Amino acid sequence: KVNPPRRLLSRISARKNSGRDPEEAESDSEAAQILSQVAERYHAILRAANALDFDDLLLRTASMLAGNEQVRETYRRRFQYVLVDEYQDTNRTQYELIRHLVGPRGNVTVVGDEDQSIYSWRGADIQNILDFEADFPGARVLRLEENYRSTQGILDSASALVAHNEKRKGKTLRAVKAAGEAVRLHQAGDEYQEAQWVVGRISGLRTKGRAAVLFRMNAQSRLLEEALMRQGLPYIVVGGVGFYERKEVKDLLAYLRVLRNPADPIALRRILNVPPRGIGARTVEEVERAAAERGIPTWEALAAVEDEALLPARATQPLRRFRDMIERLRGEAEGLSIKDLLSRILELTGYSAALAQEDTQESQDRLENLAELLSAAADYEARDEAPTLAGFLDQVSLLSDTDQIRDDAPVTLMTLHSAKGLEFESVFLVGLEEGLSPHTRSLSKPAALEEERRLLYVGMTRAMERLHLSWASSRQVFGQRRVSEPSRFLGEIPRARLEVTGESRIAPSWAPPRRPSGAPQPWRTPDVVVPAAVPGLGEIRPGARVRHPLFGVGTVVRREGAGDDLKLTVSFLGIGAKRLVARFAGLELL
């Protein structure tokens, strides 16, 4: 489907958060007209149920206050003083609601920090706090610059970073604590060495309070989880579950298990209707009943229910298509690597296409987890002397042990967004590379780039005593090993503030002298690092056909920029157009 319900609902919500009526088409485009029609029907259903959604609670209230003077004055008398916390996270509708409640009296107090505005993807508008004095003339600004959490060294490094943003008011943070330890920057050879270094440091700090490892994307937790398991360190994943427990990862692993052993009833049941293919619960029950009565595996019962006409034709047709697809994949599996087999599963099943069509933050996170699963498969094949599908699944089973994921664990793993408002004695910020932090989606958007800088600032200021930054000289991207570039943000932290460790083939020009860490390297790591650019990709032109590890085959319809800034718009079958940064996309020219 070109317009999945979740995608449309997300866009309706975004319109409401910005104070716009989603029923009013903003252009003559087909997409705008469809959104308007769906919003109209959606609201009709809500009205029939005498219901409002969460966004309506704000939007309708703001509209009521704006359009009814009597109601407006009633509530202004009732709430003569308005206090707002986290003002930098308010959206346009919340802003209008506050303005209507406050009125000409101007009795309003807001608390906020523009440098911590990191939720624009949820509708937050940083302009609300930047324009506060203009919106409420005569307002007094009290800068709370005394900091009780972090050391001065941490504050100075974080402040130097965020000072590169234009959209800010500015402040000078002063620590109550002493200067403390220097901020450490570690340059690892690859992502395995980075994870090993982090876990090694955490092991040495176990008696010095809680430690948190922060990353830009959920998918980055995989290697850290594996390293912690190998070291026997308990941990907790905040705001989510362990990598191998995530739905999309378990779904794809179930496909692999069925390809290895079609008689696996648990894996088969999981994927029969994932993604949805018209196989309902009653059909599944009938298949399993037929298997039990005949004493045969569920896989064989898929054919039996059709041969014996146990179900209507409309129910058996999806079963036949599913069976044919699995047989096709089993036939192709012998000639494919595990990574390529996963890509083929994603392509034939339409799994990644369905997520791409949703076009929400959640679906984007799930796609990134699938990309990381491809990298996990490629890593296994590069490191194992005799890689097999059975061996990969056995390794995953060992790494899926959740005994070390405990609520009272001394190590916390989480995304930078999840860390806001928290504090830890030791903080590790990993994957500080171009394309990760800042994220590839922000590279061509100045406002988004500033938010990425604020996001890193938030992460740095979670540290109370010790702050560690790290990046890897090479990293698996969509299962292909690429040279990494250090994040531009690292170059914005003064040299004098950093103590740099680690050895690498790549040394950024801004880096101060390094000293070797001397850390052991028990894991076997790939020796070959390939260039970041795919050969021939720079010469690609509209009309060329390419293959993406998640989205399958597509046609290039537009190119912009050149070199590292090359962006390609590719139209994928069943998904539509995707704008990709070429050097991070993992494209294969066909």
CA–CA gap between residue 588 and residue 549 (Å, rounded) = 8
Return the residue matching tokens 């409309």.
314
Alpha carbon distance 17, 93 (integer Å): 5
pLDDT (0 to 100) of residue 406? 61
**In this structure, what DSSP letter does residue 261 have?**
-
Residue 521 has pLDDT above 50, yes or no: no
pLDDT for 563 equals 74
Average pLDDT in the 505-534 region? Answer: 38
Specify whether the CB–CB gap between 195 and 227 falls below 8 A.
yes
Whole-number percent of the chain with pLDDT over 70: 92
Question: pLDDT at position 522, please?
Answer: 34
User: Is the pLDDT reported for residue 349 higher than 80?
Assistant: yes
Contact 580, 570 (CB under 8 A): yes
The mean pLDDT value for 511-526 works out to 38
As a whole number of angstroms, the distance between CA 389 and CA 73 comes to: 69
When pLDDT is cut at 50, 70 and 90, the band that residue 480 belongs to is confident
Question: pLDDT, tens digit, for every residue of 185-196?
Answer: 999 999 999 999
Amino acid occupying residue 28: D
Mean pLDDT of 238-253: 89
Domain limits, the chain: 5-51, 75-142, 152-242+410-502, 245-398, 544-589
Check residue 256 and give its pLDDT. 96
Model confidence at 1: pLDDT above 90? no
Model pLDDT, residue 75: 94
**How big is the CA angle at 99 (ends 96 and 101), to the nearest 5 degrees?**
110
Indicate the average pLDDT of the chain.
86
Q: How confident is the model at residue 119 (pLDDT cuts 50, 70, 90)?
A: very high
Percent of the chain with pLDDT over 90: 48
Q: Which residue has the tokens 């959920």?
A: 218
Residue 544 and residue 520 in contact, taking contact as beta carbons nearer than 8 Å: no
Are 355 and 379 contacting, i.e. CB atoms less than 8 angstroms apart? no
Domains 152-242+410-502 and 245-398 are alike in CATH topology: no
Cα 5–Cα 11–Cα 13 angle in degrees, nearest 5: 100
- Reported as a pLDDT band with limits 50, 70 and 90, residue 20 is confident
- The pLDDT value recorded for residue 134 is 93
Write the pLDDT tens digit of every residue in 400-426.
765 555 666 789 999 999 999 999 999
pLDDT band at 519, cuts 50/70/90? very low
Over residues 369-376, mean pLDDT: 91
Q: Which helix (H) or strand (E) holds 427?
A: strand 424-429
Q: For residue 528, is pLDDT > 60? A: no
At residue 109, the pLDDT reads 96
More confident residue, 541 or 322: 322
* Residue 148 in this model has a pLDDT that exceeds 90: yes
3-class state of residue 353 by DSSP = helix
pLDDT at residue 182 greater than cutoff 80? yes
- Measured in whole angstroms, the distance separating CA 109 from the mean position of its chain's CA atoms is 34
Is CATH 1.10.486.10 what the domain over 245-398 is classified as, yes or no? yes
CATH superfamily of 152-242+410-502: P-loop containing nucleotide triphosphate hydrolases (3.40.50.300)
Dihedral sign from CA coordinates of 482, 487, 488, 492: negative
Given a cut of 60, whether residue 511 has pLDDT beyond it is no
Q: What gap in Å lies between CA 209 and CA 118, rounded to an integer? A: 27
- Render 312-339 in DSSP notation, one character per residue: -HHHHHHHHHHHHHHHHHHHHHTTS-HH
In 401-551, alpha helices (H): 446-460
* pLDDT band at residue 458 using 50, 70 and 90 as cut-offs: very high
Torsion of CA 219, 222, 225, 226, to 10 degrees: 180
pLDDT of residue 506: 37
Segment 85-92 shows an average pLDDT of 95
Confidence (pLDDT) at 535: 47
User: Token pair of 80, please?
Assistant: 């003569």
| pLDDT (average), residues 150-162 | 95
Residue 32 sits at φ, ψ, to 5 deg, of: -65, -40
453 compared with 394, residue with greater pLDDT: 453
Instruction: Answer whether residue 512 shows pLDDT above 70.
Output: no
Compute the distance between CA of residue 258 and CA of residue 221 in angstroms, rounded to an integer: 26
Token readout for 524 is 């076997």
Is pLDDT at 163 greater than 50 in this prediction?
yes
Average pLDDT estimate for 36-59: 89
Nearest Cα to Cα of residue 11 among 247, 443, 357: 357
- Confidence band for 584, pLDDT divided at 50, 70 and 90: confident
Report the pLDDT value the prediction gives residue 239, as an integer from 0 to 100. 76
pLDDT per position as a tens digit, 194-208: 999 999 999 988 778
**Predicted pLDDT of residue 140:** 93
At 504 the three-state DSSP class reads coil
Average pLDDT score over residue span 91-102: 94
pTM of the entire structure? 0.79
Instruction: Identify which has the larger pLDDT, 504 or 446.
Output: 446
**C-alpha to C-alpha distance for 568 and 561, rounded to whole angstroms:** 9
